[in-house]
Structure 1
Amino acid sequence: MPPEALTPERILEATEDVLRRYGPAKATVVDVARALGVSHGSVYRHFRTKAALREAVTDRWLERSVGQLATITATAGQPAPVKLRRWLSALFDAKRKKAGDDPELFATYGVLIEENSGVVDEHLRELTGQLREIIEEGVRAGQFAVEDTAVAAQAVFDATARFHDPCHAAEWRSPTIGDEFTAVSDLLLNGLRA
């Protein structure tokens, strides 16, 4: 039986495994190649640098949560305040789960934030864009009273940073974090209401 073709997807899966095993500081392209049973040059044919590979694996990892949030954003027939609360809860739950269940990849995400990666910038634009869609929907339905939906979306994102920014990950284990999240969400929703 011929060996399985080397694809970017296979490389990304192997990279995730290597990052989990060694962490972002020690994982190398040679480790990824070894896990795949190929030369490191074969990996470099698909990803020109270690940084490009790390960005691609982080992008893939982030897209998993963005898809769930996009589904909430696109849900029809739901009042915007309900949708916004669901969206904020889903974002917080996804980040908390990633930090707890996948600490090495979460650490890689932290490294990319420090590097001001384009992948992270695009992720943040996508998230605030989804927030803006929900807020615009609420304005059209007369449920929110907002002059500038882009400013409001950024304000909501910034106000909830404690519940999604990786620099706060250690706080997410606090026994009171759920109540604190609810208090901030309630305050924001009350401030947006028409």
Structure 2
Amino acid sequence: MMGTTEILTAERILAATEEVLRRHGPAKATVVDVARALGVSHGSVYRHFRTKAALRAAVTKRWLDRTSEVLDGIAAQDRDPEARLRDWLAALFTAKRRKAGDDPELFATYMVLTGESGEVVGQHIAELTGQLTAIVRAGVDAGVFASADPAMSALALFHATDRFHDPCHAAAWEEPGVEDEFEAVVDLVLRGLRG
């Protein structure tokens, strides 16, 4: 329960919403449940998030942003673009696998929420492909990669590695040999980028 001196912030609401979703699942979780967990009225929650859909979209964005932030740190590094690209793809795969494996109930919940939040997911994909574009452009500038259109190459990279980050493939992420398959795909796309 929230103490009388604690300020109700959007971040506190999102954290509580994540816990409510974990406990109740997306079908049963309500704004009233979130308010109850915070010790406030549901009207207080609605002052921060106008609708239940807006709250769910914000929770989904928060969840996706955790991955984006880690990857942005890799994309922004000033080092060999090929190593950076390899590390970025590995970090994306690791982050997605961790989310699926560490908390399968919450991952299932987010699968539902991402299905509802097309705009949020689209923004996430645009952010990730933007990071990839920066890496590919750095590789072109360094003479390591050959690409007439780094943005299109980045999008192709994203789609080519889909099996290792799209949640619809989560069941395959724990199969024996998946790491070897990942390395083979990364090697292949890097060879293609070298021209």
Q: State the TM bucket, normalised to the shorter chain.
A: over 0.9
Q: Which residue of 1 aligns with 2:53?
A: 51
Residue in structure 1 matching 2:65, options 63, 66, 87: 63
Aligned equivalents of 1:61, 1:112: Cα separation in 2: 10
Deviation at 1:22, TM superposition (A): 1.2
Q: Which residue of 2 aligns with 1:138?
A: 139
2:133·2:150 contact (CA, 8 Å) conserved in 1? yes
Q: Which residue of 1 aligns with 2:129?
A: 128
Which secondary structure state, in structure 1, belongs to the residue aligned with residue 26 of structure 2? coil
Unaligned runs of 5+ in 1: none
1:55·1:119 contact (CA, 8 Å) conserved in 2? yes
1:18·1:31 contact (CA, 8 Å) conserved in 2? yes
Q: TM-score, normalised by structure 2?
A: 0.94
Q: Following TM superposition, where does structure 1 have runs of at least 4 consecutive aligned residues deviating by more than 4 angstroms?
A: none
Q: Which residue of 1 aligns with 2:8?
A: 6
1:5 aligned partner, one-letter code: I
Q: Which residue of 1 aligns with 2:76?
A: 74
Q: Which residue of 2 aligns with 1:91?
A: 92
Deviation at 1:116, TM superposition (A): 5.0
Aligned equivalents of 1:47, 1:101: Cα separation in 2: 28
1:55 aligned partner, one-letter code: A
Q: 1:2 to 1:31 in 2, by over 3 A?
A: closer
Q: Which residue of 1 aligns with 2:108?
A: 107
1:29 aligned partner, one-letter code: V
Q: 1:74 to 1:193 in 2, by over 3 A?
A: same
Unaligned runs of 5+ in 2: none
Aligned length: 193
Deviates more, 1:62-71 or 1:102-111: 102-111
Aligned equivalents of 1:123, 1:105: Cα separation in 2: 19
Aligned equivalents of 2:168, 2:186: Cα separation in 1: 20
RMSD of aligned alpha carbons: 1.3
Deviates more, 1:124-133 or 1:1-10: 1-10
